Amino acid sequence: MLGVAVGNDSKEIAAYKKQLRVSFPMLPDKEGEVFLALELQGVPYMIMASKEGKVLMTHAGVIEDLDRMLKEIREIHKQQ
């Protein structure tokens, strides 16, 4: 898992990670270049990809039903 912090710098990321105990790496995207390059529709935005870089699923917005999302991720993982 890798986070891209749209609109944030390294100092802001460090504070966020400490406050919320985030353990995965996060990259700063202060100017939104990654966001624009990926043509994302909003934040949060999740992209699940294989090790080879094939996009397996995407999700835009807040996850309303976490159990359903985890079930979908597990099913995709089984197929890999």
**1 pLDDT tier (thresholds 50, 70, 90):** confident
Q: Each residue of 14-54: pLDDT tens digit?
A: 999 999 999 989 999 999 999 999 888 888 888 899 889 89
The residue written with tokens 């891209």 in the block is: 4
Taking CA 50 as the corner, what is the angle to CA 30 and CA 54, rounded to the nearest 5 degrees?
Answer: 80
Tokens 């919320």 belong to: 20
pLDDT at 2: 84
Using the 8-state DSSP alphabet, how is residue 80 labeled? -
Task: Return mean pLDDT, the chain.
Answer: 92
The pTM (predicted TM-score) of the whole model is 0.72
Write out the two tokens for 37: 């390059």
Tell me whether the omega of the peptide bond preceding residue 44 falls within 30 degrees of 0, making it cis: yes
Q: What is residue 51's predicted lDDT score, i.e. its pLDDT? A: 87
What pLDDT score does 31 carry? 95
Contact 7, 29 (CB under 8 A): yes
